[in-house]
Structure 1
Amino acid sequence: MKIKQAVDRIPGGLMLVPLFLGALCHTFFPGAGKYFGSFTNGLITGTVPILAVWFFCMGAGIDVRATGTVLRKSGTLVLTKIAVAWVVAMIAVNMLPVEGITKGFFAGLSTLALVAAMDMTNGGLYAALMKQYGSDDEAGAFVLMSIESGPLVSMIILGSSGAASFEPQLFVGAVLPFLVGFVLGNLDTELRGFFGQATQTMIPFFAFALGNTIDLFVIGKTGFLGIGLGVVVIIITGIPLILADKFIGGGNGTAGIAASSTAGAAVSNPVIIATMKPEFAAIAPAATALVATSVIVTSVLVPMLTAWWSKRSASGGEGNGSLAKGA
C-alpha cells in the first residue's frame, strides 16, 4: 500500500491526516486514553512533551552559517509576518471580547486564533515553492522561519498587545528546547544531522496527540469561518510580505506570496498557550479548529497564487534570472 504517497498528495497531509484521526478518536472515543492507559494514553495525551522534542530537533537542524542573502531574505519575511500579526492583535484586543465571539457566524473567533493563524509561515511549503519559482538563496530563507515554530512568538505578540501576560520564565521555557538543540547542532554537524532528520518523523505523533484535543463538531461549527480566516491570512499578510520582499528583500514579491501561509505547527499554539494561561482553555478548541482550517486553505491557495505571481512577474520583466527560469 502507498499510504505515504497518498498522505503526501494532501496539502499539509503529514500534519493534517494524523490530526484528523486524533480528532475522530477524541470525538467518538473521548475516554480512549484513560481506558488503555500506559503508552497509548501517553501518545494520545502527550502533545506538550512530543512537541518539546520536536522543537529541540528543529533547533538542531538549523545551520548558523547561512549566507547574507539568506539572512536578509528570511529576516525580512519573518519580521514582516510577525509585525502584521502584532498589528492584527492590537486591533483585535480592542474589538473582540477576551473570551472571543461566542454567538453567530463568527463564533469561535478570538485574538488567540487570529495571532496563531497569522504569525507563523509554513516553512516547508515556502521552501518547496521557492525551489520551483525562485532561487536557492530564496528557498534557504526558511531557515529563520523555523524560529517562528512554537508558541514563543505568539506569546510575545499576545503579551505586547495586552491580550495576555506571561511570567518571564514561561518565555524561557518556551524557547529553551529549541535553543539547546540549536547550540548542539552547531557545535557538532553529526548531531545536527542526527537530530535534524527526526523533525519530519515527529510531526504525525504530535499531530495525532493534538487532534485528541479537538471535537469534530467544533470544526463543523467553525468550518466556513475557518475558510474565511485562511483567505484573510493570505490577504492581510500577503500584501505586506510582497512589498517587503520587493523593497527590502530584493525580490519581486514571489517570496512574499509564498510566505503568506499558516504553518501546520501553528495548530498546536492555542493548546500550548492554554496550558500556560488557563483563561485561554475555553477558547483553545475553537481556535485550534480555526487554525487547522486555515492551514488547509492556505496550503491549497498559496501555491496557486505563487505560481500566478511568478509568471506575471516574469512576463512583466520583473523576475530575476532564476525566477524566470523557474516559471
Structure 2
Amino acid sequence: MKIMKTIEKVPGGLMLVPLFLGAIIHTLAPGSGEYFGSFTNGLMTGTVPILAVWFFCMGAGINIKATGTVLRKSGTLVLTKIAVAWVVAIVASLFLPEGGVQSGLFAGFSVLALIAAMDMTNGGLYASIMQQYGTKEEAGAFVLMSLESGPLVTMLILGSTGLAAFHPQAFVGAVLPFLIGFILGNLDQELRVFFSKATQTMIPFFGFALGNSIDLTVIAKTGVAGIILGLLCIIVTGVPLIFADKYIGGGNGTAGLAASSTAGAAVANPMIIANMQPEFMPVAQSATALVAASVIVTSILVPILTAYYSQYMKKKQGTIGKDKNNAAVS
C-alpha cells in the first residue's frame, strides 16, 4: 500500500491527516484515551511532551550562523500579528456593542472574541507547516511566538495591563528545550545531524495529539459565526503577515500565511480575562465557543492554503529564474 504517497498528495497531509483522525476519535469517542490508558493515552493526549521533544530536535538542527534569520523572522511575525490585533481592537470597539452582537449571522461577535482569536499564533502548527514548506530557520521562528501565550497580550491590547499576571519563568520554560537543543547542536555537528532527523518524524504524532483535543461539533454549536471568525482570522492577519514576511522578514510570504492561525491556548483567554475584569463576563462564554471554532477552522485551512501558496511561489520564482537566465543568454 502506498499510504505515505497518498498522505503526501494532501496539502499539509503529514500534519492534517493525523489531525483529522484524532479529531474524529475525540468527537465520536472523547474518553478513548482514558479508557485505554497507559501509552495509548499518552500518545493521544501528549501534545506538550511531544512538542517539547520536537522543539528540542528543531533547535538542534539550526546552525548558529542562522540565528539572525530566526530572530528576524520570528520578531517580524509576532510584532505584525500583535499590531494587527491592536488595529482590530480599535476598529471593532467603534462598531460592536459592549455586550457583543446578540443576533444574526455574526451573533456572539465581540471585541474580546476577535482579539482572542487573532493575537495568538498556533506555534506548533506553524512549525510543522514550515518544516514541510519552509526552512529550518523559518520553522524556528516559533521561538518568540511563545511570548503571545496566555492572556498577557490580549489584556495589553484591551488596555488592562495592570490586571495581568506576568510570570517570566513560564516564557523561559517555553523556549528552554529549543535553546538546549540549539546549544548541543552547535557544539557537536554529529548531534545536530542526529536530532534534526526527528523533526519530520514528530509531525504526524503532534498532529494526532492536537486532533485529540478538537471537538468537531464545536463548529455546529457556534453556527456559521465560528467559521466566519476563523476565515476572518486568516484573511485579516494573513495578508499583513504575508507582506511583512516578504518585505521585512526576507521570505516569500509562506511563513506569514503559516502564522495566520488561532492558537489552541487562546480558547482559555476569554474566561481568564472575564474573571479578572467582570465587565467581559457577559460575552466570555460566546467568545470561548467562537475562538474554539476558529482554532478548528484555521487548523484545517491554514496548512492547505500555505501548501498551495508555497507551490505557487516556487513555480513563480522558478519561472522568474528561467526568464532571467534566458535574458542573460540572449
> Fold-level match, TM-score > 0.5?
yes
Match of 2:240 among 232, 236, 241: 236
User: How far 1:61 sits from its partner (Å)?
Assistant: 1.3
**One-letter identity of the residue aligned with 2:65:** R
Partners of 1:218 and 1:289 within 8 A in 2: yes
SS at match of 1:11: coil
User: How far 1:215 sits from its partner (Å)?
Assistant: 0.8
CA distance in 1, matches of 2:121, 2:183: 29
Deviations 1:230-252 (A, max 9, x none): 2333323223334436xxx5xxx
Partners of 2:125 and 2:299 within 8 A in 1: no
Partner of 2:176: 176
CA distance in 2, matches of 1:89, 1:302: 21
For this pair of structures, how many residues does the alignment match? 300
Q: Tell me the TM-score normalised to structure 2 length.
A: 0.70
Range 153-162 or range 49-58, more displaced = 153-162
Partners of 1:117 and 1:262 within 8 A in 2: no
Range 55-64 or range 229-238, more displaced = 229-238
Q: Tell me the TM-score normalised to structure 1 length.
A: 0.71
Q: 1:55 to 1:64 in 2, by over 3 A?
A: same
Partners of 2:15 and 2:203 within 8 A in 1: yes
**One-letter identity of the residue aligned with 1:26:** H
Partners of 2:261 and 2:298 within 8 A in 1: no
Q: 1:101 to 1:33 in 2, by over 3 A?
A: farther
Partner of 1:78: 74
Please say if 1:33 is aligned against 2:29.
no
Q: 1:86 to 1:143 in 2, by over 3 A?
A: same
**One-letter identity of the residue aligned with 1:227:** L
**One-letter identity of the residue aligned with 2:81:** A
Partner of 1:60: 60
CA distance in 1, matches of 2:87, 2:231: 21
Please say if 1:213 is aligned against 2:210.
no
| Runs (5+) with no aligned partner, structure 2 | 277-283
Q: 1:303 to 1:85 in 2, by over 3 A?
A: same
Partners of 1:262 and 1:295 within 8 A in 2: no
User: How far 1:77 sits from its partner (Å)?
Assistant: 3.8
Please say if 1:87 is aligned against 2:83.
yes
Partners of 2:155 and 2:273 within 8 A in 1: no
User: How far 1:21 sits from its partner (Å)?
Assistant: 0.9
CA distance in 2, matches of 1:91, 1:194: 44
User: How far 1:44 sits from its partner (Å)?
Assistant: 1.6
SS at match of 1:62: coil
Partner of 1:49: 49
Partner of 2:117: 113
Partner of 2:279: none
CA distance in 1, matches of 2:177, 2:274: 22
SS at match of 1:210: helix
Partner of 2:18: 18
**One-letter identity of the residue aligned with 1:86:** I
**One-letter identity of the residue aligned with 2:35:** Y
Q: CA RMSD in A?
A: 4.3
Partners of 1:59 and 1:185 within 8 A in 2: yes
**One-letter identity of the residue aligned with 2:187:** L
User: How far 1:313 sits from its partner (Å)?
Assistant: 8.7
Query: Rg larger in 1 or in 2?
Result: 2
| Runs (5+) with no aligned partner, structure 1 | 131-138, 250-254
In terms of fraction of residues, the more helix-rich structure is: 2
SS at match of 2:257: coil
Partners of 1:127 and 1:141 within 8 A in 2: no
User: How far 1:85 sits from its partner (Å)?
Assistant: 1.0
